[in-house]
């Protein structure tokens, strides 16, 4: 066991810190979940990519710098410590790309990865359907075989930022004779194709962060199928594993949130009572504990272990920690909590209420925490499914 | 960065696990509860033969000069088995204290026997007078008025106190703070006792994660075996989610304890804060798992016929000793706020 970073890991930290300190916008950008903010975030992504920071762990040929997993975590720590913009490319970089690396053809990787990481092509996910949420395998959208490709029909929903995206990916039923996990195929499709209608949906915080996608006989070429036809479920599971595990939620952002909470506590200390003080301490400790749990997990991955259903524990922990941390912050903010973004008197620009509303999504997306707990009970503890 | 134990450390854990699985079965814990600690003493002897009891002693003293990090896994196993006896006091705290601050005569008399498993050391830190296992141990190392004493328990006065965990054999100890018992004065005993407190908290945290794991194993097994409404109760989501929550609490406490062990072994500047995190999370997890395990067991868990209660009561006791949550949270608070 060596819980110090190595010299080369420290050098990597210095390198990303220097670049980020020189380049992170001084003023925070408008929300990336609005049309205007999304465009500004994409410009930031171009800048990140051109300097080689958009996808640090990727191979160099696709614009990465072949960073180790620990270096990636270090990058994330520095990124969030400086309050750099949220990553609007994450549905591509962290969800689709791992699937492409594992199942994609060389042609697909060559065509898709660099524009994805630079934000030249923005990707949204299209998993859920109106009647297939937690029970994703009950999805109804279909793909019909035609000359040279497929025709996609159906309805997808809760697609993050899809109202502003160029492309999306999701599962469609290609074998109508099969049910549930069998007979599904993983497709990529352009959101401006003929037969597609995208309708933005305002989220809890009022931003147009969601969208519904309606597909009517949309043509998709064979080259936009990932993996084998009818094997889409197992192809997709590779992505959801990384979504609920490490990829989307490295510890850096929670450590940074805890540091901002402590700063808030100091500024409004006169409002605090011993209970709040304890909650602030607990929030800081939770972030630390999550960080070390992650380092332990990453060591297992580096040693070649597969994490599998253990990643569900991460997801439950960080999502519920994030809600608690924001609840504590709002308790410190007090009655000013209702002052929304754009209100002159809002504390920290209404950031805490905004963050709280965002945090509330955590226990729901990427597989609800109820589903995660079922996975933990059945696949880690071995309890009977029925 | 590499957050994993070495093969040697894992092998030592496996050895301890095998010994305890074979010898420290629940009947042994139960016998210790009922005033028959003989079989538990025999387990201690076996552990001494494997070198675990003397592991922190120097090689010169017949030990393996092992660090706080090396200690964590064996102590976790001791918690898993609810091993009766002062293993943290003797191995994590007492032997290093005796070696660092004992006079030649004190070391001559106690160090060898302690390493060999023949003498059991208990420790009283910060003028605390109620000492676990004082009733059956052989020698007490105590901090009184800033000075260090090494007192044969046969020469001390001990009144028995009743712990909710009978196997802890609590005693209220008093002795004449006489120069004949005093330890070396040419060493910084204040610093040594500060270190002793960290070791005690760390060792206790390690036991607590072992206790959690055992209680969870018991509850999972029960949930698989027990049938109601024609199926195992573990097939019900209400039960699954309780046990999933218990696993999460336990699994996040675990690296927290390991990190504290590493911090102490490397004398990291924030070692005390990491020990506090370890004690808090291990204590919180053990109490949480205890509650969930009891609920999953239902009425049978609420009896002393079911083994679970011995682990629960140990967990309650250990979560509170060597700094409870409030104490350690305050220490963290002073550091970060």
pLDDT score of A248 = 59
Examine the domain organization and report whether B121 and B83 are in the same domain.
yes
Examine the domain organization and report whether A307 and A283 are in the same domain.
yes
Q: Is residue A72 part of a domain?
A: yes
Q: Is residue A114 part of a domain?
A: no
Examine the domain organization and report whether B177 and B224 are in the same domain.
no
pLDDT score of A245 = 59
Examine the domain organization and report whether A132 and A208 are in the same domain.
yes
Examine the domain organization and report whether B176 and B199 are in the same domain.
no
Q: Which of B163, B181, B199 is the last residue of a domain?
A: B181
Q: Is residue A99 part of a domain?
A: no
B6/A299 Cβ within 8 A: no
Examine the domain organization and report whether A200 and A223 are in the same domain.
yes
Cβ neighbours of A262 in B, within 8 Å: 336-337
Q: Dump the DSSP string for A297-344.
A: HHHHHHTT---GGGHHHHHHHHHHHHHHHHHHHHHHHGGGGG--TT-T
Chain segment A156-167, per-residue pLDDT in tens: 999 999 999 999
Chain segment A30-47, per-residue pLDDT in tens: 999 999 999 999 999 999
Residues spanned by the domain of B222:
191-336
From residue B299, alpha-carbon distances to A155, B231, B266, B294 in Å are: 50, 18, 47, 8
Q: Is residue A157 part of a domain?
A: yes
- Flag whether pLDDT at A241 surpasses 80: no
Q: Which of A184, A199, A232 is the last residue of a domain?
A: A232
Q: Quick check: A365 contacting B, CB < 8 Å?
A: no
* Beta pairing class for B171-174 and B130-131: antiparallel
Chain segment A327-382, per-residue pLDDT in tens: 999 999 999 999 998 899 999 999 999 999 999 999 999 889 999 999 999 999 99
pLDDT score of A269 = 85
Q: Is residue A147 part of a domain?
A: yes
Q: How confident is the model at residue A243 (pLDDT cuts 50, 70, 90)?
A: low
Examine the domain organization and report whether B94 and B121 are in the same domain.
yes
Look at residues A240, A245, A193 and name the one whose alpha carbon lies nearest to residue A219.
A193
In chain A, how many domains are there? 3
Examine the domain organization and report whether A227 and A254 are in the same domain.
no
Examine the domain organization and report whether B80 and B227 are in the same domain.
no
Q: What does the DSSP 8-state code read for residue B3?
A: -
Examine the domain organization and report whether A224 and A255 are in the same domain.
no
Look at residues B127, B158, B132 and name the one whose alpha carbon lies nearest to residue B144.
B127
Residues spanned by the domain of A55:
7-88
B148 strand-pairing partners: B143
Examine the domain organization and report whether B78 and B198 are in the same domain.
no
pLDDT score of B146 = 86
We report the CATH number of the domain holding residue B78 as: 1.10.540.10
We report the CATH number of the domain holding residue A29 as: 1.10.540.10
Active-site annotation of A, residues: 243
Which of B223, B252, B255 lies at the smallest CB-CB distance from A383?
A: B223
Which residue did the predictor score with more confidence, A269 or B248? B248
Examine the domain organization and report whether B165 and B314 are in the same domain.
no
In chain B, how many domains are there? 2
Cβ neighbours of A274 in B, within 8 Å: none
Examine the domain organization and report whether B146 and B275 are in the same domain.
no
Residues of chain B below pLDDT 50? none
Examine the domain organization and report whether A219 and A298 are in the same domain.
no
SS3 content of chain A, % helix, strand, coil (to 5): 50, 15, 35
A3/B223 Cβ within 8 A: no
We report the CATH number of the domain holding residue B241 as: 1.20.140.10
Examine the domain organization and report whether B135 and B71 are in the same domain.
yes
pLDDT score of B126 = 87
- Flag whether pLDDT at A386 surpasses 70: yes
Examine the domain organization and report whether A333 and A249 are in the same domain.
yes
* Long-range pairs of A176-185 with CB within 8 A, sequence gap ≥ 24: A176/A142, A178/A230, A180/A137, A180/A138, A181/A137, A181/A233, A182/A230, A182/A233, A183/A230, A184/A137, A184/A139, A184/A230, A184/A232, A184/A233, A184/A236, A185/A143, A185/A150, A185/A225, A185/A227, A185/A229, A185/A230, A185/A231, A185/A232
| Gap between the Cα atoms of A352 and A357, Å rounded | 9
Q: Is residue A293 part of a domain?
A: yes
Q: Is residue B1 part of a domain?
A: no
Examine the domain organization and report whether B30 and B88 are in the same domain.
yes
Examine the domain organization and report whether B144 and B210 are in the same domain.
no
SS3 content of chain B, % helix, strand, coil (to 5): 65, 10, 25
What residue in A sits closest to B249 (Cα-Cα)?
Answer: A317
Q: Is residue A135 part of a domain?
A: yes
Structure tokens at B281: 């999370």
Q: Which of B181, B203, B226 is the last residue of a domain?
A: B181
pLDDT score of B291 = 98
Chain segment A124-145, per-residue pLDDT in tens: 999 999 999 999 999 999 999 9
Cβ neighbours of A377 in B, within 8 Å: 234, 239-241, 243-244
Tell me the average pLDDT of chain A. 95
Examine the domain organization and report whether B126 and B225 are in the same domain.
no
A313/B252 Cβ within 8 A: yes
Chain segment A202-230, per-residue pLDDT in tens: 999 999 999 999 999 999 999 999 999 99
Q: How confident is the model at residue A239 (pLDDT cuts 50, 70, 90)?
A: low
Examine the domain organization and report whether A40 and A76 are in the same domain.
yes
Q: Which of A176, A211, A232 is the last residue of a domain?
A: A232
Q: Is residue A63 part of a domain?
A: yes
Phi, psi of B318 (to 5 degrees): -70, -30
Q: Which of B181, B215, B249 is the last residue of a domain?
A: B181
């Amino acid at each position: 066991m060596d819980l110090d970073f190595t010299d080369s890991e420290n050098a990597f930290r210095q390198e990303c810190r220097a670049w980020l300190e020189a380049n992170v916008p001084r003023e925070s950008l408008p929300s990336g979940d609005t049309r205007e903010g999304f465009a500004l975030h994409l410009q930031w992504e171009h800048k990140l990519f051109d300097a080689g920071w958009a996808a640090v762990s990727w191979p160099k040929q696709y614009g990465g710098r072949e960073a180790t997993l620990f270096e990636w975590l270090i990058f994330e720590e520095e990124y969030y410590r400086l309050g750099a913009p949220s990553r609007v490319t994450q549905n591509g970089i962290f969800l689709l790309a791992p699937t492409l690396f594992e199942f994609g053809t060389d042609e697909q990787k060559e065509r898709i990865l660099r524009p994805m990481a630079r934000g030249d092509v923005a990707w949204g996910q299209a998993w859920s359907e109106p009647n297939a949420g937690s029970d994703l395998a009950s999805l109804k959208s279909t793909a019909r075989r035609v000359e040279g490709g497929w025709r996609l029909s159906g309805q997808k929903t809760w697609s993050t930022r899809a109202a502003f995206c160029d492309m999306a990916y999701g599962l469609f039923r290609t074998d109508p004779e099969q049910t549930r996990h069998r007979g599904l195929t993983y497709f990529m499709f352009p959101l401006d194709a003929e037969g597609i209608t995208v309708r933005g949906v305002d989220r809890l915080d009022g931003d147009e962060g969601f969208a519904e996608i309606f597909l009517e006989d949309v043509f998709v070429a064979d080259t936009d199928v990932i993996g084998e036809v009818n094997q889409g479920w197992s192809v997709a599971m590779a992505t959801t594993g990384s979504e609920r595990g490490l990829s989307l939620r490295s510890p850096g952002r929670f450590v940074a949130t805890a540091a901002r909470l402590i700063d808030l506590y100091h500024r409004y200390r006169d409002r605090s009572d011993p209970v709040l003080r304890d909650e602030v301490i607990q929030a800081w400790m939770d972030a630390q504990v999550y960080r070390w749990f992650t380092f332990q997990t990453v060591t297992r991955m580096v040693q070649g272990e597969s994490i599998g259903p253990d990643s569900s524990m991460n997801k439950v922990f960080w999502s519920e920690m994030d809600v608690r941390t924001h609840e504590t912050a709002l308790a410190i903010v007090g009655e000013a909590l209702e002052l929304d973004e754009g209100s002159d008197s809002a504390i920290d620009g209404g950031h805490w209420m905004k963050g709280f509303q965002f945090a509330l999504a955590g226990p729901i997306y990427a597989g609800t925490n109820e589903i995660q707990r079922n996975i933990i009970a059945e696949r880690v503890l071995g309890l009977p499914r029925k | 960065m590499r957050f994993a134990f070495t093969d040697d450390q894992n092998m030592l854990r496996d050895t301890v696990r095998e010994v305890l699985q074979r010898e420290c079965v629940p009947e042994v814990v139960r016998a210790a509860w009922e005033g028959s600690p003989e079989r538990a003493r025999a387990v201690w002897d076996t552990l001494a033969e494997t070198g675990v009891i003397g592991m922190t002693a120097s090689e010169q003293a017949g030990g393996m000069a092992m660090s706080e990090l090396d200690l964590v896994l064996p102590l976790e196993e001791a918690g898993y088995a609810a091993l009766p006896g002062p293993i943290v006091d003797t191995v994590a705290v007492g032997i290093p204290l005796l070696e660092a601050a004992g006079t030649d005569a004190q070391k001559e008399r106690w160090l060898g026997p302690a390493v060999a498993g023949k003498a059991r050391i208990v420790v009283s830190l910060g003028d605390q007078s109620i000492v676990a296992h004082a009733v059956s141990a052989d020698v007490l190392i105590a901090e009184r008025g800033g000075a260090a004493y090494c007192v044969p328990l046969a020469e001390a006065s001990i009144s028995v106190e009743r712990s909710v965990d009978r196997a802890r054999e609590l005693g209220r100890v008093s002795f004449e703070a006489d120069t004949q018992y005093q330890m070396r004065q040419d060493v910084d005993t204040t610093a040594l006792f500060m270190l002793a407190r960290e070791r005690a908290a760390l060792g206790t945290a390690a036991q607590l994660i072992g206790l959690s794991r055992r209680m969870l194993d018991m509850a999972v097994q029960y949930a698989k075996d027990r049938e109601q409404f024609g199926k195992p109760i573990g097939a019900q989501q209400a039960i699954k989610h309780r046990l999933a929550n218990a696993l999460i609490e336990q699994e996040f406490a675990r690296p927290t304890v390991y990190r504290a062990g590493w911090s102490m072994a490397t004398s990291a500047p924030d070692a005390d804060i990491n020990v506090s995190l370890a004690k808090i999370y291990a204590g919180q997890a053990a109490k949480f798992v205890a509650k969930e395990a009891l609920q999953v067991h239902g009425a049978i868990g609420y009896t002393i016929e079911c083994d679970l209660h011995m682990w629960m009561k140990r967990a309650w006791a250990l979560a509170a000793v060597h700094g409870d949550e409030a104490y350690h949270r305050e220490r963290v608070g002073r550091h970060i706020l």
